[in-house]
């Protein structure tokens, strides 16, 4: 059976973590360990260190200068200083063009918001339009208000999440990371009480999804979820609004239920992904599920008198009873605005998922909590309950699809209301549910190799579920001539051809899922990796059983399993081309593919394999590792070159530099942009620690030396010119024009131009001390001349 937990470095992973999927391939590393680590000159070891070093530098380049950078703090937290003199108002606040922003917002609404309800979309859309209106009407010296800046932070997170499913997701990855860091700088302000608001909770939730979308932190998101959960509990979201003493509007109550429901989903899903205890139970809250109210229904019945500036604003009830008795007016109950559960709204999918929350919570506790290990009988009973709940959920989604189809023909429906369930949303639901079923049986998957009859059901469930998960994420192998940027669209279009229906086992996969599960970062990427590794483990188990029966590779492995292994090998390299800085996945797949090939040739079977054949297979594995690293090296070097150029261009754009490289500081003095300001000190620390011969990162040091030499030469030229100007001044010429009357500072009015002429000379000579021109107006009149 799979170990109860796995310790890796400083972290402890539970049974649901994807790392349990590679335990079956530990013998690969045992075979090549001696050849790789016996000598420091091992090519595999040296290239691995080189690639790891390049990966760290690439990630540092994406972050840019030190965090939080001055541009973030001034443009986001203060809201009164701009970091660029650009004529485009949106650029002064780090926003893209309106056209790109509209596309990214649409991507977010179709992906994250369709499953996890965080925002009130009509209200968000009004504030979004108002922001662009204010930006277009704003002048250079009219900054946004503090409330507007909070919405800008929210918008940046929406853009960062939407970039993960945008067709240009590869080019937008660096910008998405900058948007995330700007929002992180805002939420990190030491204003804790002011962050205990619904909007701040929304930003915290969006921050977690943005971390997943940009690949920052990985499974460490589970740690931050604890902070989010406790903030929500402190605000009372775990109590239903009907049980709270403070009266609130229908919109406020429904938004509290929606956000708490989303927090519950995030808590359970991150616990499963990180392999950590869920630390939550059904008895810890009594907030009921959200009502089946679409945003449009709430907007029509409750927001009629709202200004749309804040969710917590007082909203007058829109009925005759409350108008007749204003002192005891009761707000419209949510049940009057809710639609029947059989009718599809924007909340229908979230409500349907809530029905399975308790069961999914139980699965997480069984896998990752500190309690006694789950027996196989308990696992089978939980499997039956889960499958029944999954069938009910599937039927509910089918009913919603039928109801939405009928509503699409009804022209009396509110314009803009959802007419049908998006295929992408349904696919996400199935991916989420099947992951729980997969993780429930993984602890018994390894034991099925030795106890074939006892755990045969778990082995079958793991294999079939892993195949379904992979097929739901991957449309197939893309032609190598197709650029990675177009791979998702090409694969999806190929799957939609007329031959699609004629090929059994094919699944229609949206390009957005391909961008997230195969080319992006986050939970879907780890899920596809976990599913494909389990498929490879099943193929290996079949070869082991074949050897035990004396077949020695003569029994063919299931073709669908081998196809998945080859496809996973292909897409792991495509993921690196799309910006992934961790090459170990591609390296592992090359080793797995080579080991399976050797097993088919009988190089590991006990009856036929000899020590020499095993050593030959070990050398082939080392060669495969070298080949994989050789393929990854030029990709990393190209990413490094692009990262350097993007970091330099971003620094120029943020500081509004002219072509000469000079920038006017906030104090009015001219300064130079240095490589450290461009790339950040963290990058230079990595470069200075590099001891790899001919590493491409040395070009950064060369660039630094060239820039420093240019700056020193420029400074020397300016100093020489300054001395020349001083020497050219006539010593007989008085410093100031003749004054006929006694110099009285209280009686003489100096024009601003006179101060401008005197101050630069006084400052450059460092004359006197104290207040400006005190050396001239003070008692010692000869102080300046004596100096």
Over residues 730-776, the pLDDT tens digits come to 444 554 444 444 445 444 444 444 434 334 443 433 434 444 444 33
Under a CB-based contact definition with an 8 Å cutoff, are residues 508 and 496 in contact? yes
Identify the pLDDT of residue 550. Answer: 64
Model confidence at 176: pLDDT above 80: yes
| 64, 110, 206, 218, 638 from 214: Cα distances, Å | 15, 18, 12, 9, 20
- Is 524:510 a contact under the CB 8 Å cutoff? no
Q: Give me the residues paired with residue 6 across strands.
A: 13
Q: Cα–Cα distance between 15 and 259 in angstroms, integer?
A: 29
pLDDT > 70: percent of the chain: 69
Predicted local confidence at residue 421, as pLDDT: 83
The whole-number pLDDT of residue 418 equals 52
CA distances from 154 to 31, 118, 262, 524, 659 (A): 50, 11, 17, 23, 33
Q: Convert the pLDDT of each residue in 329-353 to its tens digit.
A: 334 455 556 777 878 888 999 999 9
The pLDDT confidence band at residue 408, using thresholds 50, 70 and 90, is low
- The residue written with tokens 């239920």 in the block is 257
Q: Return the structure tokens found at 424.
A: 């992408």
Identify the residue with better confidence: 66 or 464: 464
Q: Which residue has the tokens 């390894």?
A: 446
- Which whole number is the average pLDDT over 404-423? 61
Higher pLDDT, 138 or 599: 599
Q: What is the DSSP letter of 664?
A: E
Give CA–CA dist 775/613, Å, rounded.
91
Q: Examine the pLDDT at 170 and tell me if it is beyond 80.
A: yes
Statement: residue 660 has pLDDT above 90 = no
Which three-class secondary structure state does DSSP give residue 444?
Answer: helix
**Residues 441, 462: contact at Cβ < 8 Å?**
yes
What is the domain partition of the chain in residue ranges? 79-190, 650-724, 752-786
- Residue 49 has a pLDDT of 87
Whole-structure pTM value: 0.81
Say which residue, 89 or 248, is predicted with more confidence. 248
pLDDT tens across 101-136, in order?
999 999 999 999 999 999 999 999 999 999 998 887
Q: What is the pLDDT of residues 464-478, one digit of tens each?
A: 999 999 999 988 888
Closest to 400 measured CA to CA, from 480, 322, 294, 489? 294
**Separation of alpha carbons 361 and 190, rounded Å:** 34
Of 430-439, 556-565, 576-585, 591-600, the one with minimum mean pLDDT is 556-565
For residue 100, the tally of other CB atoms under 10 A from its CB is 18
For every residue of 188-200, which 3-state class applies, written as one string? CCCCCHHHCCHHH
Mean pLDDT of 290-296: 89
């Amino acid at each position: 059976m799979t170990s109860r937990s796995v310790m890796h470095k400083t972290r402890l992973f539970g049974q649901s973590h994807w790392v349990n999927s590679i335990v079956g391939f530990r013998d690969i590393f045992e075979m090549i360990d001696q050849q790789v680590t016996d000598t420091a000159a091992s090519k595999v070891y040296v290239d691995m260190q080189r690639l790891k070093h390049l990966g760290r530098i690439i990630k540092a380049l994406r972050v840019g200068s030190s965090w939080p950078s001055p541009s973030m703090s001034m443009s986001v937290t203060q809201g009164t200083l701009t970091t660029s003199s650009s004529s485009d108002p949106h650029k002064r606040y780090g926003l893209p063009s309106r056209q790109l922003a509209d596309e990214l917002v649409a991507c977010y609404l179709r992906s994250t918001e369709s499953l996890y309800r965080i925002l009130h979309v009509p209200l968000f859309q009004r504030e979004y339009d108002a922001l662009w209106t204010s930006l277009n009407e704003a002048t250079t010296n009219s900054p946004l208000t503090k409330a507007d800046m909070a919405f800008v932070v929210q918008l940046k997170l929406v853009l960062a999440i939407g970039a993960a499913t945008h067709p240009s997701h590869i080019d937008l990855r660096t910008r998405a990371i900058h948007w995330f860091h700007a929002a992180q700088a805002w939420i990190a302000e030491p204003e804790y009480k002011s962050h205990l608001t619904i909007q701040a909770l929304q930003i915290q939730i969006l921050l977690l999804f943005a971390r997943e979308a940009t690949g920052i932190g990985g499974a460490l998101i589970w740690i931050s979820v604890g902070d989010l959960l406790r903030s929500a509990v402190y605000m009372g979201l775990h109590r239903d609004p009907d049980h709270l003493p403070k009266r609130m509007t229908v919109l406020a109550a429904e938004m509290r239920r929606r956000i708490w429901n989303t927090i519950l989903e995030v808590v359970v899903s991150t616990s499963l992904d990180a392999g950590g205890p869920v630390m939550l139970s059904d008895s810890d809250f009594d907030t009921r599920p959200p009502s089946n109210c679409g945003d449009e229904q709430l907007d029509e019945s409750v927001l009629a008198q709202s200004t749309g500036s804040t969710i917590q604003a007082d909203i007058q009830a829109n009925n005759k009873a409350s108008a007749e008795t204003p002192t005891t007016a009761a707000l419209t109950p949510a049940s009057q605005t809710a639609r029947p559960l059989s009718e599809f709204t924007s909340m229908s999918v979230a409500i349907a998922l809530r029905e399975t929350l308790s069961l999914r919570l139980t699965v997480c506790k069984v896998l990752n909590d500190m309690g006694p290990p789950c027996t196989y009988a308990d696992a089978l009973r939980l499997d039956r309950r889960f499958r029944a709940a999954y069938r009910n959920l599937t039927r509910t989604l089918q009913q919603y699809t039928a109801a939405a189809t009928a509503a699409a023909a009804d022209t009396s429906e509110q314009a803009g209301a959802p007419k049908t369930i998006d295929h992408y949303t349904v696919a996400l639901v199935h991916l989420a549910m099947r992951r729980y079923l997969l993780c429930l049986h993984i602890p018994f998957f390894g034991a099925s190799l030795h106890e074939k009859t006892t755990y045969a059901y778990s082995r079958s469930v793991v294999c079939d579920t892993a195949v379904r998960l992979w097929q739901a994420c991957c449309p197939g192998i893309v032609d190598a001539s197709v650029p990675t940027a177009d791979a998702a669209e090409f694969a999806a279009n190929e799957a939609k051809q007329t031959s699609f229906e004629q090929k059994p086992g094919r699944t229609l996969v949206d390009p957005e899922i391909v961008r997230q599960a195969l080319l992006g970062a986050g939970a879907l990427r780890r899920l596809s990796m976990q599913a494909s590794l389990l498929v490879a483990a099943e193929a290996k188990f079949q070869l082991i059983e074949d050897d035990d029966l004396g077949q020695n590779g003569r029994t063919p492995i299931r073709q669908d399993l081998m196809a998945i292994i080859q496809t996973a090998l292909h897409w792991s390299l495509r993921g690196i081309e799309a910006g992934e800085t961790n090459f170990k996945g591609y390296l592992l797949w090359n080793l797995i593919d080579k080991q399976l090939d050797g097993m088919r040739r009988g190089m590991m079977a006990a009856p036929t394999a000899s020590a020499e054949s095993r050593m030959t297979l070990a050398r082939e594995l080392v060669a495969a590792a070298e080949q994989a690293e050789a393929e990854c090296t030029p990709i990393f070097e190209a990413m490094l070159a692009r990262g350097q150029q993007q970091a330099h261009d971003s620094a120029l754009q943020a500081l509004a530099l002219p072509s000469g490289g000079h920038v006017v500081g906030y104090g009015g003095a001219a300064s130079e942009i240095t490589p450290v300001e461009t790339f950040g000190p963290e990058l230079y620390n990595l470069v200075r620690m590099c001891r790899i011969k001919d590493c491409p990162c040395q070009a950064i040091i060369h660039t630094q030396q060239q820039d420093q030499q240019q700056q020193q030469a420029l400074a020397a030229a300016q100093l020489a010119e300054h001395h020349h100007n001083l020497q050219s001044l006539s010593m007989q010429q008085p410093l100031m024009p003749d004054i006929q009357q006694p110099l009285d500072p209280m009686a003489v009015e100096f024009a601003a131009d006179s101060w401008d002429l005197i101050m630069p000379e006084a400052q450059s000579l460092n004359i006197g001390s104290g207040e400006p021109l005190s050396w001239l107006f003070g008692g010692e009149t000869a102080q300046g001349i004596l100096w």
